[in-house]
Amino acid sequence: MPLDRPAIQAALAKTPGASAEGVEAPHTLLCRREAGAFQRAAKSGDDLLVACTQESRLFLELNEQTEGAAKLEERPIRFVDVRETGGWSKDAKAATPKLAALIAAAQLPPHEPVPTVSYRSGGRCLVIGGADAAERAATWLGGELDVSLLIEGVGGALAQGHERAAHSGHLTQLSGWLGAFEATWASDNPIDLDLCTRCNACIAACPEAAIDFSYRIDLSRCKSHRACVAACDAAGAIDFDRAPLSTTETFDLVLDLRREPAFTMHQPPQGYFHVGADANPLFDAVLQLRERIGEFDKPRFFHYKPKLCAHSRNEQIGCTACIDVCSTRAIRSDATLKGKGGGRVRGISKITPAAPQPGGQGGGIVVEPHLCVGCGACTTVCPSGALAYTTPNTVDHGKRLRTLLSAYRHAGGKDAALLLHSEGAGVRLIAELGRAARVDKGVNGVPARVLPQALWHTASVGIDLWLAAIALGASQVWVLLTAEEAPEYRQALAGQIAVAQAILTGLGYRGEHLRIVEARDARDLAAFDRALQAPPAQGVAHPAPLAVQADKRATLEVVLDHLLAEAPKGLEPADQIALPKAGAPFGSLAIDADKCTLCLSCVGACPEAALADNPDKPQLRFIEKNCVQCGLCESTCPEGAITLVPRLWLADGGKARKAARVLHEAEPFACVRCGKPFGTLKAIESMIAKIGGHPAFQGVGAERLKMCGDCRVIDIHTHPNEMKITDL
């Protein structure tokens, strides 16, 4: 692979956060014949970055064996792949800007540590399934785990000896996660497996052969001879009159051998393995189960800010984007109990309650960190930024994107396409493509303008960082989806991409800037290769010197201002850009003036301060920049007068959407006693029309409906013999 050392050094020297010092001359066999060069660098004590991932294990061993080399705890060694991602492609000679970008990004320090979530497993494992499969699995698990069996269905054979706890019944509920599963089953078998001595007398005595070595009675074949009861007289394990018994126990691990899994979500809880009755996946599951003993930590992938959450207010539901997209059902609504915990659970119990919301009006969400796998899809679809990804956070992501694109540009690169992919299947697929390009003339490999960027999960980056990448100089952003991603992620990402593309197209940027690249595995390699050859789209003429913010909305505002300022000349953007309704984070409201009474319920429901009243006159004011299109105002309005209008408003260069404007105003209604305005004419007329016919509101009572609160109290005391009414 060609490597232009001076060009790479020059690009690194111009890139903030990168260093050109100590860039070694290219090596061809650094891990073998030229290993001495690595050992000399290891002794220097400087930060060490090796542009090879294939032999990382060997380099780590060399460092350990090199006298005078710093220990890894004191000076970690980092690795970056520049071969499969760029060097092994048909246009490798033009890949120098890309290689400089990959090396510059790899020099950045690791992101700050985040809080962790702990699991503790003592190795107590429940195996669910038929007798034969359950016994086989239990045997493979050996003495590593404390195994209990839950036998479902008739057939097969349990071991003759009582080697492990065995239960007979059918599972009714399973909840929890690694180290904290709770299983409930109903025992409908007349034979109590705890009391059964497995003497097999019942099997020999049954005239219908309704009992087998699973020690379950096939009630469809049993003719009630009860010969088995007589044969089991000494042990007393068989009782046809025993009421079905519900049993609940806790386990650390669950191995499910049934055809249908207990959990239906795309990614079940950690510690749960569903393999059916197939021996091949069973063997893999057994190997993993044997390793699940002890204490385990994982990152707490998210940060939740309840004050920003637009899920609900006053028991009205607004945005449910995060709940809908979560593939592990780790997120639930907390709307009905106003922030006091509890609420609806989507198939999973054992959820930690949320802390009370400020003011008690709350109604946010609850995220169970033990169920979260860190996909980040919830943070991508969250319109307000209430949910933020932390592994790494958006600020660290932004620094990496800025460094990557800056180094690429300083090395002479043009039309960069950012390829976001997972650290698992995505990395493997790109490596396969590079290897294929090395030996197959029909395969192009990763183009020189395509900059791969590995993520913990592709769904963890959304519209704020995509548009930031365009503002920082990228021509396109592509999201690689493999077989790892759940269907929910595909739909959510497609919706967010549609919104981002609508904005860029509406601003006048030509071409397709964002899209999903589908390649489930290596069998789709040819299609993946073709997809990467797509032509570039129009980018900004001058990349922004912006820094991505921790606040999602703040980043979007800065990015939109730059994209608007850099919009292609000769084509004036329209005053507004219509956005797809699904997932739009911006928009306005349409008010039906004939229905609206200016009760201002919508103002109290708005979680983002987009709606406000005017203390001096009956007005409904609106700041469009703050609106996240959550729909809480629409669902709260008692008159059904509000409709969401997804759009990006660009009037006055985008300044109009940042200022308050009046959506609706009405004539005030003056108190008939003191003349003070206390409501709107429409509101009072509506109230009189609805309750004026009631006997309590006739005569003086009818006049009180037209009085302010103070005058109503005075009038009640002035006419004590009149029927009193409460303050309406």
Phi/psi of residue 336, nearest 5 degrees: -75, -25
Tokens of 376: 């980040």
Residue in 112, 116, 113 with CA at minimum distance from that of residue 300: 116
- The fraction of the chain above a pLDDT of 70, given in percent, is 94
| pLDDT tens digit sequence for 585-622 | 999 999 998 888 888 899 999 999 999 998 888 889 99
Q: Pairing state of beta strands 181-187 and 170-175?
A: antiparallel
Give DSSP secondary structure letters for 267-311: SPPTTEEE-TT-HHHHHHHHHHHHT--EEEEEE--EEE-GGG--S
| pLDDT tens digit sequence for 327-367 | 999 999 986 544 333 333 333 333 232 333 333 345 689 99
**Mean pLDDT score of the chain, rounded to an integer?**
88
pLDDT of 712? 84
Environment class of residue 344 by beta-carbon count within 10 Å: exposed (0-12), middle (13-18) or buried (19+)? exposed
pLDDT of 525? 94
pLDDT of 571? 62
User: How confident is the model over 55-63, as a mean pLDDT?
Assistant: 93
pLDDT of 155? 86
SS (H, E, C) 497-553: HHHHHHHHHHCCCCCCCEEEEECCCHHHHHHHHHHCCCCCCCCCCCCCCCCCCCCHH
- For the domain made up of 300-389, give the CATH fold: Alpha-Beta Plaits (3.30.70)
pLDDT of 39? 92
pLDDT of 675? 83
pLDDT of 725? 44
> Measured between alpha carbons, how far is 719 from 714 in angstroms, rounded to an integer?
9
**Domain chopping of the chain, boundaries:** 84-111+394-557, 119-257+274-293, 300-389, 576-665, 668-718
| pLDDT tens digit sequence for 281-308 | 888 899 999 999 999 999 999 999 998 9
Residue in 511, 504, 326, 321 with CA at minimum distance from that of residue 415: 511
Hey, what amino acid is at 1? M
Environment class of residue 56 by beta-carbon count within 10 Å: exposed (0-12), middle (13-18) or buried (19+)? middle
Under DSSP, the state recorded for 143 is T
Angstrom CA distances, 2 to 9, 34, 78, 409, 470, stand at 15, 18, 22, 19, 29
Q: Do 300-389 and 576-665 agree at the fold level?
A: yes
Are the CB atoms for 50 and 59 separated by under 8 Å? yes
Confidence of residue 642 (pLDDT cuts 50, 70, 90): very high
Phi/psi of residue 229, nearest 5 degrees: -65, -45
Are the CB atoms for 135 and 281 separated by under 8 Å? no
Are the CB atoms for 481 and 493 separated by under 8 Å? yes
User: How confident is the model over 205-209, as a mean pLDDT?
Assistant: 92
SS (H, E, C) 350-387: CCCCCCCCHHHCCCCEEECCCCCCCCCHHHHHCCCCCE
pLDDT of 336? 55
> Measured between alpha carbons, how far is 400 from 109 in angstroms, rounded to an integer?
10
- This prediction's pTM: 0.86
Could you tell me which CATH number the domain at 576-665 has? 3.30.70.3270
